[in-house]
Amino acid sequence: MPVITVTQVNKYIASKLKSDRILQGIMVKGEITDFICHYKSGHCYFSLKDKESTLKAVMFASAASRLKFQPEDGMSVVASGSIAVYERDGVYQLYVNDVIPEGAGKASVALEQLKKKLAAEGIFAEEHKRSLPYMPKKIGAVTSLSGAAVQDIINVLSRRYPLCELYTIDALVQGEAAPMSICQGILKAEAAGCDVVIVGRGGGSSEDLSAYNTEAVARAVYNCKIPVISAVGHEVDFTLTDLAADMRAPTPSAAAELASPDISQLREYINGYERRCEKAAMAAVEKKLGTYNSLSAKLSAQSPENRLKLMEERLANLQNRAETAVKRNFDRCSAQLAEKAAKLDSLSPLKVMARGYSLVYKGDDLVRDSADLTVGQEITLRFDKGTATAEIIDVNGE
C-alpha cells in the first residue's frame, strides 16, 4: 500500500468536495454561534448550528460588507454559499456569500415576486413616467407630520420657491395601517388640486420601509393622476414606491428640490426678459430714428436755402476760376511786353549814340550822304549828350 502525505489527503478531499455539485451554491438554515468579525481583515468567522449539529462557516470581508444587518450569535439565518476544504487545518466549511435573517428570507422572496408581477403589468415602465411641472402652484406632501421629513420639505421650499403652497397630509409611515393611510393621502393630494405630490418619510437605513413595498401603495402611486416624487429616505434599496413613482429622490429634502424651481433661476429669468425687453425696444426706436434721419437729410438737401447755397458755391467757384484765368492772361501779356520792350530798347538809336556815334543834321534833315553837303554850309551835330553847330570845310565824295 502506497504511503501518502497529509497534504495529499487534504488536497484529494478538497477536490472531491469541489466537484460535488450538491455542495456548491447551497442555502443552509441554522443559528449563528461563535460569531467573530476579524477587526483587521473584516472577514467573519462563525458556526451554524441546529439541534444536532454544527457547521463551520466563513464570510470574507467583501461579502460581509454587503450585508444589510449585523449578524449576531443566536440569530436564525439562511446562509448561502459553497462547501469547501480549508486544507491547512483539514476542515471543511461553508464559504458564505450572503446571509439573510430567516424570517426575512420569505419576505424578500415574496417582494421579488411582487416586483416581477408589477413590472410585468408595466407599473414601473419608463414610458409611464411623467415629467414634473416646472412651477407647481401647490405641492402635496404625504408623510408623517410628526417626523423630520415635513420640516425638511418646508425648509427647502421656503428657500427655493416660496411662491408655492405646500399641502401637508399626515400619514402613518410604518405599521399595519400605514399602507392604507399612505394610499388615502395620495388620493387626498390629488383631490386637493396639487400639481405634484411627494410621498415619503425621513429616516435611515434601519427604518422599516415595508409600507412602501406594498402592492397597494405602489398601485396608488402608479394610478395617481398627478406626478409623484418618492422620498422614502433610503440610499441603497429601491422600494416598490420608488420604482412606481415618476421621480425618485433619496431624501425628502431632495424631493422638495426636484419639485421646485430655484428662486435664483427665476430672478435670472426676470432679469433676462428685462434686458431683452430693453434691447428690443431700443433697437426698434433706433431703427425708426435711422429712417427719420436719412429722410430728413434727403429733405433738407432739397430746401431752397440749401439750393441757394449750392448755387452760391458754384458761382463763387466760377468767379474764382475766371479771376485766375484773367490773371494768368495778364501775366502772360506783361511778360511778352517786357520781352518786346527789351528788344526795342536794344534797337534804339540813342543806345547806338551812347556808344559814341553822332548824327549830322542839315536844318531838320538827317545827312546820310556827304554829297548833300557843300563847303561853308552850317550843320548841327547831335551827340548822345548835347548838340553842337559846325561849318563844312571840305567835302569828299567816296
Closer residue to another protein in complex, CB, 108/151: 151
Contacts with 90 (C-beta within 8 Å, 6 or more apart), sequence order: 6, 9, 10
Q: Which of 85, 75, 110 is nearest to 13 (CA)?
A: 85
Backbone angle region of 25, left / alpha / beta, with phi > 0 → left and psi within -120 to 50 → alpha: left
Amino acid of residue 92: Y
d(CA 202, CA 146): 11
CB 231 within 8 A of CB 200: yes
Kindly report the backbone phi and psi dihedral angles of residue 357, in degrees, each rounded to the nearest multiple of 5, phi listed first: -80, 155
In this structure, the strands spanning 359-362 and 247-248 are: unpaired
Give whichever of 44 and 166 is closer to another protein, judged by the CB atom: 166
- Between 168 and 239, name the residue whose CB sits nearer to another protein: 168
Of 46 and 161, nearer to another protein (C-beta) is: 161
d(CA 90, CA 85): 7
Identify which of residues 242 and 257 has a Cβ nearer to another protein in the complex: 257
Q: Least distance (Å) from another protein to the CB of residue 199?
A: 14
List residues binding another protein (CB under 8 A): 135, 137, 145, 154, 157-158, 161-170, 185, 188, 192, 263, 266-267, 269-270, 273-274, 276-278, 280-281, 283-285, 287-288
Q: What distance lies between CA 108 and its chain's CA centroid?
A: 46
Closest contact distance (angstroms) between CB of 147 and another protein is 14
Q: Which amino acid is at 102?
A: E
If you compute the radius of gyration of the chain from its CA atoms, what whole number of angstroms results?
A: 64
Provide the CB-side half-sphere exposure for 152 (13 A, CA): 22
152-174: string of b/e by CB count within 10 Å (b at 16+)? bbeebbeebbeebebbbbbbbbb
Q: Which is nearer to another protein, 135 or 341 (CB)?
A: 135
- φ, ψ at 71 (rounded to 5°): -65, 145
Provide the minimum distance between the beta carbon of 257 and another protein in the complex, in angstroms, as a whole number.
Answer: 14
Nearest CB to another protein, comparing residues 177 and 316: 177
Q: How far is the CB of 167 from another protein (least distance, A)?
A: 5
Cell output for 369: 550822304
36 and 64 Cβ atoms separated by less than 8 Å: no
Cβ nearer to another protein, comparing 123 with 153: 153
